[in-house]
Amino acid sequence: MLAIRLTAGPGRLDTLVLPVHTGAATDGGDAPATLAPTGSALPDGVSAEAAALLPAARLTGRAGETYRHLRPTRTPGRLLLLGVGEGTDRHWRTAGAALARAASDETHITLALPADAAEGTVRALVEGLLLASYRFRMTDAGERPALAEVELLATDPDGYRDAVDTARTTAEMTRFARDLTNTPSSVKNPQWFAAQVEAAAADLPDLHLRVRGPEELAAEGFGGILAVGGGSASPPRLVELDWRPADARTHVVLVGKGITFDTGGISIKPVPAMKLMRKDMAGAAAVVAATLGAAALRLPVRVTTLAPLAENMVSGSAFRPGDIIRHYDGTTSETTNSDAEGRLVLADALAYAARELAPDLLVDLATLTGANAVALGKRHGALYSENDQLAADLLAAIDAAGEAAWRMPLPADYLEHLGSDLADLHSSPDRGAGSVIAALYLREFTGDTRDRWLHIDMSAPSWADGDDAELTRGATGWGVRGLLRWLGTLS
Ligand code: BES
Ligand code: MN
Ligand code: ZN
């Protein structure tokens, strides 16, 4: 990962990056950009030269705008003007991402922070830099970004150490979630996923990991995970990862859907719907990465993460449409569509959490339905909770982190859709409102934690079709940033 170094005086000065703001709008149209005053001493004449460029180059200062100016034989040899818009955190994150791309062919750059830069500004800038420079390739061939180090020039570098450390951990964990999600399913089976968690957890103190295999799952009654995983040659797992700091007063349980590949099962998906189904464990990746992040940042909140892992395959041992499944808490589900598999594994994990872990707050993330994108498009997760405070807190954290979610209803009128003649619940009614129905189904397993539970259907924002600000094509690591921000507000 790109190195970020805070300094009061640059070690070397090849390319100097100067932030520019949007000018105040006037009646005459777009005002020219203005240079952000830096507190640090710059080489003679550089500020005046940059200021003169702004109108000449018709820069607006909008977030992510870049302009390169060459000064051969002088120091620095290049000036890079970087638009930071109105200077909001979101604009700085976008600027950091644009900078990582604009400077990808250089090895070392120096950015002069504005004199009055807030900690949030620096955190956002660094997150943008580290997230946009992410690449996933399973080959060493091809070009890689050359950019190895970004120096941040500040009058008081120590004031930003925490901001940079937090941004680095947040980005590192987001990148870990992206790696897990991008990995092809020929590699990524449940056992492999559990081994990745084990390796990552071994690097951090005070994390406890328990991985249940098929025998333990059977002995303890995890019927949903076993049914969904039954068709695969790679048997299911349940990962339980616990960050348990001594000073914690709140216990959060996170649950993430971990389908390492979703063929749809016997209710098989058509080709276009199946081709990206290696991402169907993005929820598990996000909650695991957020928990590792909580441990790395030593957040004073207990976090237990549950990742039910299974591969939903077509085979002679696959579960069938019409099967009735008995979940961890004894609830039975009639399933007429083996493609509604995520809720079956989550049901077990939620019931286990509610019964055995007595959480103060219970949050699950899942690439649960295609209906998420139908309702909200590609950017917003669909967020469900009966708890207004919890919903508001998470929405605020997600927004501050640069992610997006939208609160959805849990209408009592639709509960009748979950009725079954044969079992306690029907898991896959085909009556529309797919994301809402799935949320209502999950709620049935939350027991007396129901009023402290929150669910996010994040199938849409878990994947980006192209590079876009801090997102790179492929897995986005959605949820890691928002969850970490939120966990950081708890104690
Ligand atoms: N993994 C899919 C949901 C999904 C779809 C995620 C598109 C990402 C992109 C999930 O298991 C699924 O197949 N859901 C069905 C539910 C239906 C059978 C009730 C769906 O959304 O069609
Ligand atoms: Mn499915
Ligand atoms: Zn699925």
CA-proximal residue: ligand 1, atom 20 (nearest): 369
Among residues 290, 284, 326, 278, which one has the least CA distance to residue 306?
284
Give the per-residue pLDDT at 137.
84
Identify residues whose C-beta is under 5 A from ligand 2, the ion: 262, 339, 341
Whether 277 and 313 map to the same domain: the answer is yes
Give a yes or no: residue 282 inside a domain.
yes
Cα of 481 vs centre of ligand 2, distance in Å, is 26
Cα of 371 vs centre of ligand 1, distance in Å, is 8
- Indicate the pTM of the whole model: 0.97
3-class state of residue 15 by DSSP: strand
Whether 385 and 272 map to the same domain: the answer is yes
Q: How far apart are CA 349 and CA 479, in angstroms?
A: 19
Q: State the DSSP string of 90-147.
A: HHHHHHHHHHHHHTTT-SEEEEE-BTT--HHHHHHHHHHHHHHT----SSS-S-----
Residues tagged active-site: 269, 343
Using the atom order of ligand 1, give the atom closest to the CA of residue 264.
13
Boundary (domain end) residue, out of 137, 157, 177 = 157
Give a yes or no: residue 203 inside a domain.
yes
Using the atom order of ligand 1, give the atom closest to the CA of residue 341.
11
Give the residue carrying structure tokens 């295999």.
213
Whether 127 and 249 map to the same domain: the answer is no
Give the per-residue pLDDT at 11.
80
Give a yes or no: residue 290 inside a domain.
yes
Q: How far apart are CA 112 and CA 42, in angstroms?
A: 9
Give the per-residue pLDDT at 27.
63
Whether 62 and 110 map to the same domain: the answer is yes
Whether 174 and 149 map to the same domain: the answer is no
Q: Which of 312, 368, 372, 428 to mutate to test the pocket of ligand 1 (most atoms within 8 A of CB)?
A: 368
Give the per-residue pLDDT at 29.
62
Give a yes or no: residue 162 inside a domain.
no
Question: Domain span at residue 344?
Answer: 168-487
Ligand 1 first shell, C-beta below 6 A: 262, 280, 337, 339-342, 367-371, 428, 434, 459
Give a yes or no: residue 163 inside a domain.
no
Among residues 178, 146, 176, 151, which one has the least CA distance to residue 164?
151
Give a yes or no: residue 406 inside a domain.
yes
The dihedral of CA 117, 118, 121, 123: what is its sign? positive
Q: Which of 269, 275, 369, 462 to mutate to test the pocket of ligand 1 (most atoms within 8 A of CB)?
A: 369
3-class state of residue 429 by DSSP: coil
Boundary (domain end) residue, out of 132, 157, 182 = 157
Three state DSSP letters for 40-100: CCCCCCHHHHHHHHHHHCCCCCCCCCEEEEECCCCCCCEEEEEECCCCCHHHHHHHHHHHH
Phi, psi of 475 (to 5 degrees): -60, 140
Cα of 370 vs centre of ligand 1, distance in Å, is 5
Cβ atoms of 94 and 468 within 8 Å: the answer is: no
Give the per-residue pLDDT at 30.
66
Whether 207 and 83 map to the same domain: the answer is no
Give the per-residue pLDDT at 473.
96
Whether 431 and 343 map to the same domain: the answer is yes
Boundary (domain end) residue, out of 102, 129, 157 = 157
Give the per-residue pLDDT at 221.
98
Q: How far apart are CA 423 and CA 272, in angstroms?
A: 33
CA-proximal residue: ligand 1, atom 21 (nearest): 369
Q: How far apart are CA 321 and CA 412, in angstroms?
A: 26
Which CATH number belongs to the domain containing residue 260 in this structure? 3.40.630.10
How many domains is the chain partitioned into structurally? 2
Whether 146 and 200 map to the same domain: the answer is no
Whether 388 and 364 map to the same domain: the answer is yes
Among residues 378, 372, 460, which one has the least CA distance to residue 408?
372
Whether 130 and 221 map to the same domain: the answer is no
Using the atom order of ligand 1, give the atom closest to the CA of residue 428.
19
Whether 379 and 475 map to the same domain: the answer is yes
Whether 127 and 231 map to the same domain: the answer is no
Contacts 24+ apart (CB under 8 A), 373-380: 373/459, 373/460, 374/434, 375/408, 375/435, 376/406, 376/460, 377/460, 378/460, 378/461, 378/464, 378/465, 379/404, 379/460, 379/461, 380/404, 380/405, 380/406, 380/460, 380/461
Among residues 135, 133, 132, 130, which one has the least CA distance to residue 164?
130
Q: How far apart are CA 486 and CA 170, in angstroms?
A: 12
Which CATH number belongs to the domain containing residue 65 in this structure? 3.40.220.10
Give the pLDDT of the chain (491 residues) as one tens digit per residue.
999 999 998 788 999 999 999 977 666 566 778 998 898 889 989 999 999 999 888 899 999 999 999 999 999 999 999 999 999 999 999 999 999 999 999 999 999 999 999 999 999 999 999 999 999 987 777 777 789 999 999 999 999 999 999 999 999 999 999 999 999 999 999 999 999 999 999 989 999 999 999 999 999 999 999 999 999 999 999 999 999 999 899 999 999 999 999 999 999 999 999 999 999 999 999 999 999 999 999 999 999 999 999 999 999 999 999 999 999 999 999 999 999 999 999 999 999 999 999 999 999 999 999 999 999 999 999 999 999 999 999 999 999 999 999 999 999 999 999 999 999 999 999 889 999 999 999 999 999 999 999 999 999 999 999 999 999 999 999 999 999 999 999 98
- 91 φ/ψ sector (left φ>0, alpha ψ -120 to 50, else beta): alpha
